[in-house]
Amino acid sequence: MRCAIVSQKRYVLLVLTVSAFFLCLTGRLYYLHVVNAKEALDVAEKTRQRFERISSRRGNITDARGNLMATTRTVMELGVDPEMILPSDLGQGADASGKPYVDKVPILAGLLAMNPDVLRPLLTEKYREDDPSAKVRWRKLVEKIDEPTYEKVMALNIKGVYGNRKFERVYPGDTLASHVLGYVSKEGIPQMGIEHFMDFYLRGQDGWRLSERDGRRRELAQFRSREVDPADGLNVELTIDMALQNIAESELRRVVTDFEPKGATIIITDPKTGFVLALANYPTFDPNHYWDFPIEALKNRAVTDVFEPGSTFKIVASSGAINEHLVRPTDRFDCGITSVTYKGRVLKLPAEAHHLGVLEVNQIVSESSNRGAAQLGMKLGEQRLYNYAAAFGFGTRTGLGSAMESPGTLHQVKDWDGLTITRLPMGHAINATALQVHFAMSVIANHGVLMQPQLIKRVYDADGKTLFSYDPHERRRVITEESSQLISKMLVNVVDPKGTARRAALVGYKVAGKTGTTQKLIDGKYSSTHHVASFVGYLPAEDPRLVISVIIDDAQSKGVAYGGLISAPAFHNVAMQSVQYLGIQPEGQYRNMLAWENKIQ
Amino acid sequence: MSTTVKVYRSGTPHALRLACFAVSILLFCVVAGGSFGLVWLRQGIAQSAQSIKDYERDLGEARRMQAHLQAKIAQEEQPEVLKRRTSATLMVPDGRQYVYVAPSQVLRTRPEVQFRPMDFGFEIAYNPEASAEAVRNAVRPN
C-alpha cells in the first residue's frame, strides 16, 4: 500500500490557512449578523420593500345638463431602455427556420408619427451624449400617447419600449368656457377658475401600497402588507349651460371678426337664481394647450378687468331717486342747462352727445341723458348715492370664486371731489367689472333683489349622489318691487324704436336694458377714439328669464363705438338664439301664433 | 427456573425499536407533509394574490378605457361639432311639426305659408298626439 507523505509543515500551513479562512468568514458573518445587523437589515428591507403610490383620479366638471366640460384620462409617456433592445427588433438576423426578422422600427415610427431615421438612433444609442461612459436605461420617446396607440405599440412586443402611465386633464370643448373652468398645469397644479376654486373637492386623495418585490423588481402581490385605496375626486356640476355658452362664444367670435376689439365679454345669467348660464371672454385660450397662449388671454376679464360703466350705471341714480320717492317717472328736468347750483356751489354739468332739452325721468333713462342723471344724483345726495351704488354691488367683489376678482373702485364720500356728484350718476368716477354691472342690472330684473352670482350647482360623487348643493342665495334687497317695476318700464323704452338700444329689440319679446358708451382713459385723458361699448338687458321684461350683458372693449369702428351700435346687435343675436333654445314663449299676439303649409292636412 | 429475554445486539427491545421507527416515520411525514403543505399554501396565496392583481389591472384598464371613451364622446358632443354635423343633414320640417315664425318673415320669404292666431298655447308642439284633434278643429287651412 502506498501512502501519501505530507510534510508536517505543509499540513500545518494548510490547516492554518483553512482555519484562517473560516475564521474570517465567521468574523464577517458575526459582523453582518451582530455588529452591523441593524444597517444590514435596513438595506435588505429597502431592497425588498416596495412602496407604491396609487394616484387618485381628478373629478369631472360638468355643465348644468351633465355634459362633460373637464375630465381626466390616462396617457402614456413612452420611452425606451436601449440595453434591452434586441437585434431581432431591429430586423437583424433570422429565426431558426431562416426567415429574416421584421424590422419593427418603421412600424413603431408610424405609430408615433416619427421619422424612422430619427427614431432608430434613439432606440440603439446606449450611452449618453454628454457623458459617453454613462449608460442610458430610460430615454423618452414621446411625451404622451393615448391608450389605444399604446396598445398597438405593446402589440409590437419590443421588449425595451414601455410606457409610464400618468393622468392628463382633458377639456373636450377646447376653448368653451375656458375662463370659467381654468386649467391644471403640467405639474398637476390647478391654476385658475373652477379647477382652482374647487380643487379641494376635485383632486381626491392618493392611496398607497406596501409590498415586496423580487430580484427583477416585480411586485410580489402575496406580500402586500398594507394598502390604502385611493379616493377619486368628487365631481362638480356647474350652472353653466354648454349650449348657451356656445351661443355666447359664437357671437363673440362674430363681434371679434367684425370689430377687432381689444377685449369683449358676454354674460348670461338667470336673474331669479343668480346662476351664471354662460360667461365668455375674448381673448380666450384652450386649456388643453394653455402654454401656447399669452398670459393676457388667460385672465377672466369679466371679473378681473374694470372699466367705467358709463350710462349703464344710470340705473343706480334713477333707481335710488325713485325708491326714495324723490321723483316720479313723469317729473321733468331741464337737461339743456350746463350748470346747476348745488349746496351753494355752482357745478358744471357733464356734456350731452346731443341737445335734449326738458325730459321726464323715464326719458332721462331711455335717452340716456348725462345731465338728467346728474340732477337725479344731486336729488339723492352724496351719501345716499354712495349707499345705493354699494347696495347694487359696486365696490365689493361679487364672490364668484375667482382669486383674481377685482372689487372695482367706489370711493368713499369723504374722498369725492366737488364734481363727483355730477359725474358718478352717469357712471364716471367709478370702476366696475363686467360682472358687477351685469348683476346691478339683475337687481332690476329680479324685482329689486341682488342675488349671489353662482357658478357651482352641486358637488356629487361617482354614484351621482349629491354631497353639497349650492342653492340660490339672496344678498340683499336693494329697492322695492314697485320701484324695480317703474325702472323696468323705463328700461323697456330704451329698446323701443326711439331708444338708444333699438337694435337689441326682439320680435315677440319685451326687452329691457341700458346701453353704455365710455370713453377710455388713455394717458390720463378721456380718448375720443377708444371706447368701451356695453349693453346690459333682460327679457321678457314682465317676467325676466335671462339677463344678458355684452361689453366690448375698444371696438374698431367708423366713428364712436356706441353701445347701441356695437353691443346691442350682439345682445339681439344672443337673446334670439337663447329664447329658442330655452323655449321661452313670446308674449302677446305672438304667443298663440301657429304657422303651417297649405299641404298640411 | 430462568426467564430468557430476547434481546438484539444493541440491547434495545424489538417493540421499542419498532415504535421509535414508526414515530420517526410519522414525524418525518408530519414535517415533510407540513412543509409541502406550507409551500402549497404559500403557492396558493401567491396565485390568489397574483390573480387579484391581474383583476385589479384589468379593472384599471377598463376604467382607463372608459375615461378615454367618455372624453372622446364628450368631444363629439360639443356644440360646435354637433352644429358642423347637423348642418349637412338638416331636414325640411314635416307636416307634424309646429314652428314659430315672425309674420314679416312669412310674408317675405314663404308666401305659401299662412298664419293666424290660435286659441291654444305653444305647449301643443310638445304633445302633438293629444293636441292633434284640437289642431284639426281649430285650424282650417285655406
Q: Is B132 on the interface with A (CB under 8 A)?
A: no
Give the bridge partners for A279, in sequence order. Answer: A267
Q: Give the best-scoring range by mean pLDDT among A15-24, A358-367, A404-413, A587-596.
A: A15-24
Residue A154 lies in a domain: no
Q: Where does a domain end: A207, A238, A269? A: A238
In this prediction, residue A591 carries a pLDDT of 57
pLDDT tier for residue A224 given thresholds of 50, 70 and 90: confident
Q: Which of A212, A594, A600 to mutate to test the interface with B (most CBs of B within 10 A)?
A: A594
Residue A300 binned pLDDT confidence (cut-offs 50, 70, 90): very high
Q: Which CATH number does the domain housing residue A198 bear?
A: 3.90.1310.10
Whether residues B100 and A508 touch (CB distance < 8 A) is answered with yes
A248 is a domain residue: yes
- pLDDT at site A501: 85
Q: Indicate if A173 and A196 belong to the same structural domain.
A: yes
Please list every residue in chain A whose beta carbon sits closer than 8 Å to the beta carbon of residue B71.
68, 71, 73, 170, 172
Which of B59, B110, B122 should we substitute to test contact with A (largest number of A Cβ atoms within 10 Å)?
Answer: B122
Q: How many domains does chain A have?
A: 2
Quick check: is A436 in a domain?
A: yes
A457 and A575 housed in the same domain: yes
Among candidate residues A205, A220, A238, the one where a domain is terminated: A238
Residues 6+ apart with CB under 8 A from B13: B7
Rounded CA-CA distance B16/A312 in Å is 115
Residue A562 located in a structural domain: yes
Do A374 and A426 belong together in one domain?
yes
Would you state the cell numbers that stand for residue A220, as one nine-digit string?
A: 410580489
Is the CB of B142 less than 8 angstroms away from the CB of A68?
no
Q: A524 lies in a domain?
A: yes
At residue A566 the predicted structure's pLDDT band, cuts being 50, 70 and 90, is: confident
- Please check whether residues A293 and A198 belong to one and the same domain: no
Same-domain status, A342 and A289: yes
CB contact under 8 A, B120 and A246: no
Last residue within a domain, chosen from A238, A265, A296: A238
How much is the pLDDT for A400? 84
The domain in which residue A303 lies consists of 242-589
**DSSP alpha helices (H): ranges in A446-556?**
481-494
Minimum CA–CA partner of A509 in chain B: B102
Check pLDDT > 50 for residue A139.
yes
**For residue B99, what pLDDT is reported?**
59
Q: Across the interface, which of B78, B102, B141 has its CB nearest the CB of A598?
A: B141
Q: Do residues A344 and A475 share a domain?
A: yes
Q: Over chain A, what is the mean pLDDT?
A: 89
Per-residue pLDDT of chain B (142 residues; tens, 9 = 90+): 555 555 555 556 788 889 999 999 999 999 999 999 999 999 999 899 889 989 988 998 888 888 888 889 999 888 888 877 766 555 544 555 555 555 555 555 555 555 555 544 444 444 445 445 555 554 444 3
Do A377 and A520 reside in the same domain of the chain?
A: yes
Would you tell me which residues 477-536 of chain A have a C-beta closer than 8 angstroms to some C-beta of chain B? 507-508
Average pLDDT over residues A318-336: 91
Pairing assessment for the beta strands A207-213 and A226-228 based on DSSP bridges: antiparallel
* A chain contacts of residue B98, beta-carbon cutoff 8 Å: 594-596
CA-to-CA distance for A50 and A217, rounded, in angstroms?
9
Condensed to tens digits (0 to 9), the pLDDT of residues A475-495 reads: 999 999 999 999 999 999 999
Bridge partners, residue A537, by sequence = A513, A548
C-alpha cell at A89: 427588433
Within a domain: A335: yes
A223 and A247 in a single domain? The answer is: no
Domain match, A229 and A349 both: no
Are residues A193 and A285 located together in one domain of the fold? no
| Residue matched to cell numbers 356728484 | A421
**Pairing mode of beta strands A235-238, A61-62:** parallel
In a domain, A5, yes or no: no
ipTM score of the complex? 0.75
Residues in chain A closer than 8 A to B80 (CB atoms)? 176, 246
Based on the domain organization, do A399 and A418 belong to the same domain? Answer: yes
Give the A:B interface size as CB pairs under 8 Å.
117
pTM for the whole structure = 0.79
Same domain, A317 and A179: no
DSSP A431: B
| CB spacing of B67 vs A172 below 8 angstroms | no
Is residue A170 within 8 Å of B69, Cβ to Cβ? Answer: no
State whether residue B101 sits within 8 Å of chain A by CB: yes
A172-203 burial: b if 16+ Cβ within 10 Å, else e: bbebbbbbbbbbbeeeeebbbbbbbbbbebbb
**Confidence at residue A575, expressed as pLDDT on a 0 to 100 scale:** 93
In a domain, A128, yes or no: no
Listed range (A26-30, A507-511, B107-111, B126-130) with the worst mean pLDDT: B126-130
Find the helix or strand (DSSP H, E) in which A235 lies.
strand A235-238
- Residue type for position A382: E
Q: Report the CATH number that the domain containing residue A272 is assigned in CATH.
A: 3.40.710.10
The CA distances from residue B11 to A368, A585, B19, in Å, are 131, 117, 15
